[in-house]
């Protein structure tokens, strides 16, 4: 968990990092790392800063315990913004549908909450 940078003390960033720290228990990885991500976003490899390519790797189904039964969540607190780790200020992630906002760090999305509730067996 990294909170050592300026701007890392907003509640959304803290929630994001806590979900990372829960990987051992919950399996929360970045939304854009889902195996089906190419249906929803384009990863612009040529714009990714050297040394950060691993942040855009896809995971196989079964390596995480979440999101196999949920739709792709552009609003997830676990989704990178369009310019994260950009080497040239150009987008590293482009939604395939125009007008989609990605990378919010304000709150858990309804799907984030549903995935956590599902893990713990909580009813809606």
Catalytic residue among 17, 49, 53, 115: 17
- Domains parsed from the chain with CATH numbers: 11-120 (3.40.390.10)
pLDDT attached to residue 114? 86
Question: Is 17 among the residues known to form the active site?
Answer: yes
Flag whether pLDDT at 65 surpasses 90: no
Average the pLDDT over 1-21 and give the result: 56
Containing 20, the helix (H) or strand (E) segment is helix 11-21
Burial of 62 (0-12, 13-18, 19+ CB in 10 A): exposed
- Structure confidence at residue 109 as a pLDDT band (50, 70, 90): very high
Select the more confidently predicted residue: 9 or 88: 88
**Pair type for strands 93-95 and 41-43:** antiparallel
Q: According to the model, what pLDDT value does residue 39 have? A: 97
What is the DSSP-derived secondary structure letter of residue 80? P
Over residues 20-24, mean pLDDT = 52
Three-state SS for 119? helix
pLDDT at 120 (0 to 100): 73
Report the candidate in 81, 102, 73 with the shortest Cα–Cα distance to residue 7. Answer: 81
Global pTM reads: 0.78
The tally of CA atoms less than 13 A away on the side-chain side of residue 48 is 16
Tally: H helices and E strands in the chain? 2, 2
């Amino acid at each position: 968990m990294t909170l050592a940078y300026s701007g890392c003390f907003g509640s959304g960033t803290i929630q994001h990092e806590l979900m990372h720290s829960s990987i051992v228990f919950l399996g929360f990885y970045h939304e854009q790392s889902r195996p089906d991500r190419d249906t929803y976003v384009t990863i612009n490899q040529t714009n990714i800063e050297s040394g950060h390519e691993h942040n855009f790797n896809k995971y196989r189904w079964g390596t995480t315990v979440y999101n196999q039964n949920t739709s792709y969540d552009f609003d997830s607190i676990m989704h990178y913004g369009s310019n994260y780790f950009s080497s040239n200020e150009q987008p590293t992630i482009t939604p395939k549908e125009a007008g989609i906002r990605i990378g919010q760090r304000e709150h858990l999305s309804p799907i984030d909450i549903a995935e956590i509730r599902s893990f713990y067996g909580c009813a809606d």
